[in-house]
Structure 1
Amino acid sequence: GIVVLAVAILPTLGVGGMALYRTEIPGPLKDSKLTPRITETAKALWYIYAALTFTCLLAYRAAGMSWFDALCHSFSTVSIGGFSPYDANIGHFDSVAIELVCTFFLIVSAMSFSLHFLAWRDRRLSHYLNDPEARFLLLGLACLTLITVVSLWSAGVYDLPGGLRQGLFQAVSIATTGGFSVADVSAWPSVLPVLLLLAAFIGGCSGSTGGGMKVIRIILIFKQGLREVMRLIHPSAVIAVKVGKVSVPDSIAQAVWGFFSVYLLVFVVMLLGVIATGVDQVTAWSSVASTLNNLGPALGEASASYRELPQAAKWILVMAMLLGRLEIFTVLVLFTPAFWRK
């Protein structure tokens, strides 16, 4: 994201540039670089980003958007921003083709850009199938979509084709933290909006433009928890945490738990802060969850807009967006004197 760009164009960061880079890249690959120099790595990722944006622009245009709309929405899709020039968002176009283009590029953008680089460099699509994080993301989106479609259909909200169209788009859009909309999710059966917001906590893969805690951290938390259970059964066993075929050092697992703890602490503090401004619990919970995960849509009073929220609540949510977008530690490390001394 912007941290990688800063590292590329501000060489005066020196050693601190790599330190800042590490705070934004979670998981076991945070110390590996695609190219020998960090600035070259940043440039390579931005070339991939530019290529995806241009391809998305052409796809939107082919699907029926004007050049202006295609340009605006391509910027917003690849960045997983979810912004649109229209109040009805993507729903303004009422086009299956446009929704499919948006869905596809949201999924692509939620995958690691390092993975895109490797697939392009080696001319091998098998990189996507071999990557455990990408597989987890795709499987998770498939399961979430299935649950959403079946729930909408069984509740009589849509017929099966309508449920498939709306469910697929909204499940992918919210789970990847895109935030595009073609329907009022808050009016769906109450379990679905909550489930989709919880999925946004996972977000995209590491090194993607998605928000949330990132897929790799969720994988590591789950595997670390499973290891602790196995240690209770076999106290003397030496059990390694592996992601794919890579053994993850304990220092990485500890860092992931540290991030999770800080993330949870920030969420709770901001939730209490928003509630203290007079906002009801549903609105406060969904607003903090949405902004901290850089999603956008919320429930309750904020389902249509955040405009009616108190000014104090808005300032808290602004801070939540900043911390969430820059992975929390990136912001904290900038205020650490030791970072600048390096």
Structure 2
Amino acid sequence: MQFATITRILGLLIMVFSLTMIPPSVVALIYQDGGGSAFFITFILSLISGFVIFFSKRHAKQELKIRDGFLVVSLFWTVLSLFGSLPFMLIENHALSLADAVFESFSGITTTGATVISGIDELPHSILFYRQQLQWLGGMGIIVLAVAILPMLGIGGMQLYRAETPGPIKDSKLTPRIAGTAKTLWFIYVGLTIACAISYWLAGMSAFDAIGHSFSTIATGGFSTHDDSIGYFDSDLIEMLCILFMFLGGVNFSLHFFAVRKLSMTPYLRDPEFRVYTMILLTVGLVGAIVLLVDHDYTSFYEAFLHTLFHTVSFATSSGFSTTDYYLWPLAISVLLIFVSFPGGSAGSTSGGMKVIRIILLFKQGFREIKRLIHPSGVFIIKLGKESVNDRIVNAVWGFFATYIMFFVIFMFILLSQGLDQVTAFSAVAATMNNLGPGLGEVSLNYGGLNDLTKYVLSFAMLLGRLEIFTLLVLFTPYFWRR
């Protein structure tokens, strides 16, 4: 392990993160909301801490190995989330406890969108902007890690798009160099954010709300500047725009890259994951609308379909925005919305969940086993499109699924032991592991009523889900630390 180099990189990351305290400080000055001191103190503490850590190992220049990469990625999310909790504890008149601040920060950076805060409309503009910014930065980090960095380490959902599998990418990089890949993805991400912000503004949002919601929409995070989320604006046009940009945020960003480069929709239409992702959203939205009409929750199909499609896209992409009290709908629809967060969005997107590509391979493997029962000597190859999938990848997907279910059960039992009912415990774990945010039962509005232990457990669940389990889990194995 190259601990010196890892320490140097960590120091640099913390110093860079300290610069993110500048924009909310500017917002505090503009609105004179008294929040500037919290961000200034955090800026100084982060800058000094990062410099001390960096300076102690400034001469370390060893080349990182695969194991070092796992540690850097895990530390990246954990340490920055902890530093990110400082403004929440330092903000005047609205300070959070340590557990609440850590929960809110982890939720922001992992783009989960679960919150412990009630009375969001009363918060200073600076802290509102900071919450949105956290999610945007987290979404940016996810894209770069998923497409540019994690394939180098041999992990993550984008590993499914390497040369062994079909799809728009035959290699782990969009451009010849990793730096070029990251730069390309940043341009796409920023471009979508700007387009989203302008669209919201033209549709009637204030400039502040438009920028803030564009941050969390493209990051599929779900934080809002209002307690009523997107429902605050009571606008069908804003809902439609939100559906569009949440949908785009849940698409493999590599498809955006090739679509822009070729000025064609063909990369989307040829991608099997994109087709299944779209089909899931439309099917669930249509089924939900029919159920709500039969249950007389709505009298107009247009209104029923708009609300169900909005929440379907919101939950499937792990955005977590809402326009109405979905938890008051028939229980079957509310639970269906939670379940649609399990496949989540596409690999290489900002969405959470297990990723649609894994679900596709799980189903194909299941059908292959049925065929083998009928023809024990037969040789059946799993294909995506016209290309065969290596059995090693299929086995890795099964391993991921089994590990995911194991941790889901463990987290759920911990929450049940803390006195939560089954619906609350199940939805809270699903909402955090899938980086969704809103749940059912006691966490349908916010997570503020949970005890500190539960908040720490769910914070870990957010991190585990965001790093797709194995990236973090490998650090807890003895094999990782052996020479």
Q: How high is the TM-score relative to the length of structure 2?
A: 0.66
Partner AA of 2:333 in structure 1: L
Query: 1:34-68 deviations in whole A, cap 9, x for unaligned?
Result: 12222322222222111111111111111111111
Partner AA of 1:301 in structure 2: E
Q: Which of 183, 189, 193 in structure 1 is aligned with 2:330?
A: 189
Change (3 A) 1:59 1:225: same
Structure 1 position 69 matched with structure 2 position 201: no
Partner AA of 2:429 in structure 1: V
Count of paired positions: 336
Alignment partner, residue 22 of structure 1: 154
Partner AA of 2:268 in structure 1: Y
Change (3 A) 1:40 1:334: farther
Partner AA of 1:324 in structure 2: G
CA distance in 1, matches of 2:190, 2:390: 34
Alignment partner, residue 99 of structure 2: none
Larger radius of gyration: 2
Contact (CA 8 Å) 2:157, 2:355: kept in 1 or not?
A: no
Structure 1 position 176 matched with structure 2 position 317: yes
Contact (CA 8 Å) 2:319, 2:351: kept in 1 or not?
A: yes
Change (3 A) 1:13 1:150: farther
Alignment partner, residue 460 of structure 2: 319
Secondary structure of 1:201 counterpart: coil
Contact (CA 8 Å) 2:424, 2:439: kept in 1 or not?
A: yes
Displacement, 1:21?
Answer: 4.8
Change (3 A) 1:15 1:34: farther
Percent identity between the two aligned chains: 49
Query: 1:102-137 deviations in whole A, cap 9, x for unaligned?
Result: 000011110100111111122221111110000001
Change (3 A) 1:13 1:120: farther
Query: 1:185-206 deviations in whole A, cap 9, x for unaligned?
Result: 1100010011110110010000
Structure 1 position 106 matched with structure 2 position 246: yes
Counterpart mapping for 1:157-236 below 5 A: 157-160=297-300, 161-236=302-377
CA distance in 1, matches of 2:404, 2:398: 10
Contact (CA 8 Å) 1:27, 1:216: kept in 2 or not?
A: no
Change (3 A) 1:28 1:153: same
Contact (CA 8 Å) 1:48, 1:116: kept in 2 or not?
A: yes
CA distance in 1, matches of 2:419, 2:389: 44
Alignment partner, residue 236 of structure 2: 96
Alignment partner, residue 280 of structure 2: 140
CA distance in 1, matches of 2:62, 2:320: 36
CA distance in 1, matches of 2:62, 2:437: 34
Contact (CA 8 Å) 1:27, 1:256: kept in 2 or not?
A: no
Uncovered stretches (5+) of structure 1, i.e. residues with no partner: 1-5
Counterpart mapping for 1:45-56 below 5 A: 45-56=185-196
Contact (CA 8 Å) 2:217, 2:246: kept in 1 or not?
A: yes
Greater shift in the superposed pair: 170-179 or 248-257: 170-179
Alignment partner, residue 3 of structure 1: none
Partner AA of 1:249 in structure 2: N
Secondary structure of 2:383 counterpart: strand
CA distance in 2, matches of 1:21, 1:336: 17
CA distance in 2, matches of 1:53, 1:245: 34
Q: How high is the TM-score relative to the length of structure 1?
A: 0.92
